[in-house]
Amino acid sequence: MATRWGICSTGRISHDFTVALKTPPHEDHQVVAVAARKLEDAQEFATKHSISRVFLSYELMARDPDIDVVYIGVYHPYLLMLFTNAKKNVLCEKPLAMNTKEVKEILSSAKRNDVFLMEISVGVMRMKDGFLRPVRGTLLPLDVEPQWSCQELLAAAIKKQKAFNQVLEDGAHVLLYPDATEITNIPGTDIPFTVQMYKKASGGKPYQQIKLYICTVEDFENSCKCF
């Protein structure tokens, strides 16, 4: 069954994300609704992207039982509270909040309502003096699904890096933890990696910020040790 997305706000970043969601098979992801502060903006966005439902307000979209995940492309802590309290999983493109108090309230809401709130960034590692080291300035936010395996995460990371990093090497790559070990299983177990299982193994916190890396197979195999 496809993951059903609602789009919150209609700016350029929401447009880019909606276009990107058309890349995976239609049976995996579908944008089913959009809401904005101005109805005419939401209607124009829906027409451009062939979205079936337009909401007069964010509050009405939060009540829709046929939305699994809400993409928030505008900064506003109220919206995070609104959708997590409505038991919607949330992908937030903008900063969560402007101060510690707001962040704590958002995290409390996510935990109380048992919804998924995670930010994953993926950077590039290269070999330098026999060590694999992160390349400064290559960390990029990555949109993920809880059920993704390491192979799916790697494919998405390569695609994102190639779109924004013109010097990314061609060829096969591997996905790495920050200590430069290859991601296959959950650390210390024989359990195959998925985003959701990694979240649980890390303590099941309502919000987590995770950094992962990719590097070429050649660099990985030729590195003498981790940094």
What residue spans define the domains of the chain?
3-115, 119-226
pLDDT for the residue numbered 13: 82
Q: pTM above 0.75?
A: no
91 pairs with which residues across the strands? 71
pLDDT for the residue numbered 19: 86
Contact 216, 223 (CB under 8 A): no
Query: What is the CATH T-level fold of the domain 119-226, as seen in this structure?
Result: Ubiquitin-like (UB roll) (3.10.20)
Which long-range contacts (C-beta less than 8 Å, at least 24 apart) are formed by 15-24? 15/45, 15/48, 15/49, 17/71, 17/73, 17/93, 17/143, 18/45, 18/49, 18/51, 19/49, 20/143
Euclidean distance between CA atoms 115 and 80, whole angstroms: 11
pLDDT for the residue numbered 48: 95
Closest to 134 measured CA to CA, from 176, 186, 183: 176
pLDDT for the residue numbered 95: 66
pLDDT for the residue numbered 6: 96
pLDDT for the residue numbered 172: 93
Contact 33, 53 (CB under 8 A): yes
Which long-range contacts (C-beta less than 8 Å, at least 24 apart) are formed by 95-101? 96/207
- Neighbouring residues of 61: CB distance < 8 A, sequence distance ≥ 6: 6, 8, 33, 35, 55, 67, 70
Q: Which CATH class is domain 3-115?
A: alpha beta
pLDDT for the residue numbered 105: 81
Tens of pLDDT along the chain (227 residues) come to 788 999 999 988 888 888 878 877 788 889 999 999 899 999 999 999 999 999 999 999 999 999 999 998 887 788 888 998 999 988 877 666 677 787 778 778 777 877 766 667 889 999 888 889 999 888 887 767 777 888 988 998 888 888 777 667 888 999 998 889 999 988 888 899 887 788 777 665 555 667 899 999 999 998 865 54
